[in-house]
Structure 1
Amino acid sequence: MPYVRRRVLSDGRIRHLALYRDPTGRVRSAGTFTSDREARQAARRAESSVETGSWFDRTSGQTSFRDYVEQTWWPSRHLELTTKQCYRSYLDRHFLPFFGDLPMAKVLPSTVQAWVTKAVAGGLSARSVVKYHVMLHSIFKRAVRDRIIPYNPCAETELPKVVSRKLPTLTPEEFDRLLSAVPARWGGLVLTAIETGVRWGELIALRPRHVDFLRRTISVEETIVELSKKNSPTGERMVVKPYPKNNEPRTIRVGQDLLNVLAARVQHLGLSRDDLLFPSTEIAGGSPVSRNTFRTRVWLPALEKAQLGHHVRMHDLRHAHASWLLAGGADLKTVMDRMGHSQIQTTQKYLHTLPEADDRALAAFHRTRGRQHGTT
C-alpha cells in the first residue's frame, strides 16, 4: 500500500516523500513533493504501475547494454553449442561495439534504426540484418520482462527487404559429374550424404556401429560440432554430442550399393565399430574432418573440375536428397522423418524444386484440359 513520509529539512521546510513497494516488495520512492496530496497521488500512480505490470526500474535502466547482456542475458541462454557460438560472434562483432556503452534506457527505436542503417551501409546483407535483429529484439524483450526498460526499442524497426533467391537444385546427372570429380577416398562420404540427406555434423559422426547391414539402415545418433577453442566448453575444436539436431535420433533406410561401399571401407581401413567412418586421415581411429578443410581441399577442387555452371555447397546435397525424394513420389511425412525436420513446413519447401517439376505440372494441366475438349 502506498504511503507518505513527512520530512523536515534543516531550514525548517517540510517535504513529503512518496513511497510504494515494487514487484519484489522492496520499498521505493516515487519522488519528493511540497504537499502531502501530491506525494500521495505519485505513490498511488507508482503502485498502480506495479499492479498493471507497467512498472520498470528507472535506476536499473542506467545499466549499460554491455553489462546487462554479459551479466544477465547471456548467462541465461540455454542454446545449442553452434547457436551459442554464433550468438557470441554477433555480440562481439555487431552489437557490443555499437550499443555496448549505452545505458539500456537510452537505447531508443531511432538508435536501433541507426544500427540497421549502418549495418546495411557497411555491406551486411539484408538477410543477415534481419537475422541479427531477431537476437537484438530478444535482448530488449528480456529487459522489458526484467522491468529494466518500459518498452522494446526493436518493436517497430524498419528492416531491409529480404529478396529470396531461387537456387538451382542439383540434378542426378550433375551429381554424377560431381562425384566422378571427387577423390576416391571421399567418394563414400559424398554418396552417404546424397543418399541419407544427413547434416554435415551428423555425417562426420557416423561410425560402423551406426550401420545395420542386415536391415539396410543407418542410425543417426550423434553429431560432431566444430567450435572455436575459446567457445568450446572442453577447449577442444570438435565436440561430440550424443544427439543430433532437435535431439531426435532417427533411422534411415539406404540401398545395397551404398552398404557395399561402406562395408568395403570398414574392411579396407580395419575400422572398429566405434571408429569414425570418415576420419580426416585414412587410418582407423582418426579424428573428425573439419568442414573447412574438406571444403577447400576436396569440395571446391571437385566443383571446378566438374564444371556444373553453378555453385553447389556440400549442404546442397541435403537439399537435393529431399527434392529427389519428393519428385520421385515420396510422401512429405516420410521425407520429414528422413531429414530430421521438426516441422513439416520445412520439408514442404523442397517440393517442385527440380527443373522438370514445372514441366510435369504443365503436362498435367494440358492432360486435364484435353479431357474437357475430348483430346489427349
Structure 2
Amino acid sequence: MMPKRRFGRVRALPSGRFQARYPGPDGIDRPAPYTFASKKDAEKWLVLKEAEITEGRWTDPDAGKVRFETFAQDWVNERAGLRPRTVQLYKGLLRLHLLPTFADKTIAEINVGGVRKWRTRLLDAGTGPVTVAKAYRLLKAILNTAVDDGLIPRNPCRIKGAGKEESPERPVLTLAQVFALADAIAPRFRALVLLAVFSSLRWGELVALRRRHLDTATGTIRVEVTAVEIGRGGLVLGPPKSDAGKRVVTVPAMLFPELRAHLATYAQKGDEGLIFVGPKGAMLRRGNFAKIWKQATEDAKIQGFHFHDLRHTGNHLASQSGASLRELMARMGHASTRAALIYQHRTAERDRAIAQEIGKLAQRELRRGRPGKKKIAKGSGTQRARKIE
C-alpha cells in the first residue's frame, strides 16, 4: 500500500492526465492551474508548491484576477506627488498603448510572452522606439506594484533593455545660425530665442519668467517657477520638478541690451509682469507659438529644428567653454550627472583638432631626430620599401 501524501493529493482524470490539489495558507483547497501528463509530474509540482508556502513566497492565485485597466488607473491616481505633465504622460500611454492590449486581461493573465508580443506589435506598427520604451517602463512599474501587493509572484516584464530610450542625437546650431534664427523670428520673440540658448532654460521656465526674476544689471535669472500645459489648453504654474531646477543662471553681457530693449517694448508692466507674452498680452502657449516658430525656422533655413534644441545648443556651448560637470548640472537644473555627461563628450571637430595637434608634435619630433637613433626616411611606407628593394 502506497503511503498517503503528506501535502496535497493527486488524482487521475478520465482523460488520462493527472490533477494536483493543495490546501492554501488561507485554508481553501485549490487545484493546480493546469493538469499533468504523469502522476510523478503532479507530485513534483506539489513539492514545489509546499516549499513556496513554507518560504512565504505563495501568492493567492485569485488575487491577480483584478482587471488590468482598473488596477492601472488606480495606480496612476494613487501616485502621490506626480507632476501634472507626468500624469498626462501616463494617462496618454495607458490610453494609446497599454489598454488596447491589456485592458480586459487580469493582472495574473499578463505573461512574459504576451508582453513580448505587445512590444513587437507596437514597434512593427511604427510606434517610435522612445514611446515604446516609455510605455514598457510604465507597464513594468505598474506590475512591480502588483508584485509588491501580492497579486502576482513575479513581474512578466523581463525584456532586457526594453525600457531604455535611444533618442536620436538632436542638432546643434552654430552661433551664426542662432543669430540668423533670432533675426528671422518676429521681433517680440527675438530675446526669447537668444535667452533660450544663452541661459539653457526650458520652454516652461522661459514663459513663466517675470520681471522680478531678471536682473539686467548683472545678467542673472532666478528660476523659481515653470509653466506646464496639460490637456486641452490647461496651464499649471508651479515650482521646477526638482530642487536642482531652482537655480540662478547668468547670461553673457552681450545679451543685456537685447533684454533691456525687450523689457521696454514687449514685457508686461510691474515686478509680476511676464517677460514673454503673445501679441495680445497673454502667456505664451506652445500651440499658438508653433506656427510662428515653424515660419522662423523655414526663413532661417533650419527646418526640423525644435525649440528645445535651443537649450541643447546652449548646453553644448557651456560644455565647450570648459564648464565642469557640476557647473553644467547647476546651469541645466539637473540633479543627476547623466544628462550633463552627454554634453561633455568631445565633438568630432574638436577631436580632429586634437588629432592634428598630436600629429604636429610627432612630426616635429621626427624632424628633430634623437641621438643614437636613425632618422626615419622621408616619403610614404611604400616609397621606403621600394628603396630597400
Counterpart of 1:115, as a letter, is W
Counterpart of 1:75, as a letter, is N
Counterpart of 2:300, as a letter, is A
Which residue in the other structure is 1:152 paired with? 155
Answering whether residue 247 of structure 2 is matched by residue 253 of structure 1, we say no
Deviation of residue 48 (structure 1)?
5.5
Which residue in the other structure is 1:289 paired with? 284
CA distance in 2 between counterparts of 1:18 and 1:114 reads 33
Contact 2:212 2:272 in 1 (8 A): yes
Which residue in the other structure is 2:132 paired with? 129
CA distance in 2 between counterparts of 1:149 and 1:18 reads 18
Q: Taking structure 2 as the reference length, what is the TM-score of the superposition?
A: 0.77
What residue ranges of structure 1 are gaps of 5+ in the alignment?
A: 5-16, 22-26, 33-41, 230-235
Q: 53-62 vs 365-374, which deviates more?
A: 365-374
SS in 1 for 2:98: helix
CA distance in 1 between counterparts of 2:171 and 2:201 reads 20
Q: Deviations over 1:167-186 (max 9, x none)?
A: 43211111122111111111
Q: Deviations over 1:33-73 (max 9, x none)?
A: xxxxxxxxx999878635634221211111111122123x2
CA distance in 2 between counterparts of 1:161 and 1:86 reads 17
Change in 2 beyond 3 A, CA 1:372/1:57: farther
SS in 2 for 1:245: coil
Which residue in the other structure is 1:244 paired with? 240
Deviation of residue 100 (structure 1)?
0.6
Which residue in the other structure is 1:366 paired with? 359
Which residue in the other structure is 1:217 paired with? 220
Which residue in the other structure is 1:13 paired with? none
Answering whether residue 67 of structure 2 is matched by residue 64 of structure 1, we say yes
Answering whether residue 260 of structure 2 is matched by residue 263 of structure 1, we say yes
Q: CA RMSD in A?
A: 3.0
Contact 2:24 2:30 in 1 (8 A): no
SS in 1 for 2:104: coil
Answering whether residue 323 of structure 2 is matched by residue 337 of structure 1, we say no
CA distance in 2 between counterparts of 1:371 and 1:30 reads 87
Q: Taking structure 1 as the reference length, what is the TM-score of the superposition?
A: 0.80
Which residue in the other structure is 1:192 paired with? 195
Counterpart of 2:141, as a letter, is S
Contact 1:327 1:357 in 2 (8 A): no
Aligned-pair identity in percent equals: 30
CA distance in 1 between counterparts of 2:59 and 2:229 reads 41
CA distance in 1 between counterparts of 2:287 and 2:123 reads 27
CA distance in 1 between counterparts of 2:236 and 2:226 reads 8
Contact 1:126 1:161 in 2 (8 A): no
Change in 2 beyond 3 A, CA 1:84/1:349: same
Which residue in the other structure is 1:274 paired with? 272
Contact 2:130 2:167 in 1 (8 A): no
Answering whether residue 145 of structure 2 is matched by residue 142 of structure 1, we say yes
CA distance in 1 between counterparts of 2:163 and 2:337 reads 28
Which residue in the other structure is 2:78 paired with? 76
SS in 2 for 1:360: helix
SS in 1 for 2:249: strand
Q: 261-270 vs 138-147, which deviates more?
A: 261-270
Q: 47-56 vs 92-101, which deviates more?
A: 47-56
Counterpart of 1:294, as a letter, is F
Q: Deviations over 1:95-151 (max 9, x none)?
A: 111101011111111111121121122111223222211111111111111111121
